[in-house]
Amino acid sequence: MTPNVKPSLLFVCTGNICRSPLAEGVFLDLAEKAGRADAFVVDSAGTGGWHEGELPDPRSRAVARAHGFDISNQRARKIRASDFQTFSLILAMDRGNLAQLNQMSRSASSAQIVLFNDFTIGLSKDVPDPYYGGPGGFEDVYDMLVAGCQSLISRLS
């Protein structure tokens, strides 16, 4: 008999302070509400290491708090070569992240590397980077992430 292996998910954006930590938080919040909090291994990372060790952007933390969950325990990190073997599914927030991940993996990946919206809701659309905008952009990203993560949880059930 094959042991049950938990799906392992890595959400990836550029600096790991806006979209991917919020995606991680949204997914974990939805999984907990569905009674499946222990069914997944979940993390987030960035394609760049500029913010290594930093908290998520204050606007991402504010959106999470406003929706009833906390992401202040997360710290930004850059994706590592080992992530391509550790995680079964790597979800890129935009096409630029996807291209970088495919280049970084150099076919040595056992992970499936996909565009978040394309994989989760079948819409070939980037999750826009809200970093240079106002709080409204973070709410828009939150809404996109909720739709995608709800679909993802259903798909992985």
1 within some domain: no
> CA 35, CA 89: separation in Å to the nearest integer?
21
pLDDT for res 95: 98
Confidence of residue 157 (pLDDT cuts 50, 70, 90): confident
Is 149 tagged catalytic?
no
3 within some domain: no
- Tens-digit pLDDT profile for residues 25-37: 999 999 999 999 9
pLDDT for res 2: 42
pLDDT surpasses 80 at 140? yes
pTM above 0.85, yes or no: yes
pLDDT surpasses 60 at 12? yes
pLDDT for res 125: 96
For residue 35, the enclosing domain spans: 8-155
Instruction: Select which of 13, 18, 29, 126 is catalytic.
Output: 13
**DSSP conformation class of 101:** H
> CA 96, CA 80: separation in Å to the nearest integer?
17
Sign of CA dihedral 80, 85, 87, 93: positive
39 within some domain: yes
Q: Could you tell me if 33 and 116 are in contact, meaning their C-beta atoms sit under 8 angstroms apart? A: no
Domain of 12: which CATH number?
3.40.50.2300
Which burial class, exposed, middle or buried, applies to 138 when counting CB atoms under 10 A from its CB (0-12, 13-18, 19+)?
buried
- Region 132-149: what's the mean pLDDT? 96
Is 129 tagged catalytic?
yes
- Region 43-54: what's the mean pLDDT? 97
Is 13 tagged catalytic?
yes
pLDDT for res 3: 52
Pick the closest to residue 146 from 8, 39, 58, 34 (CA basis). Answer: 34
Q: What percent of the chain stands above pLDDT 70?
A: 97
Tally of structural domains, the chain: 1
32 within some domain: yes
Instruction: Select which of 83, 94, 126, 129 is catalytic.
Output: 129
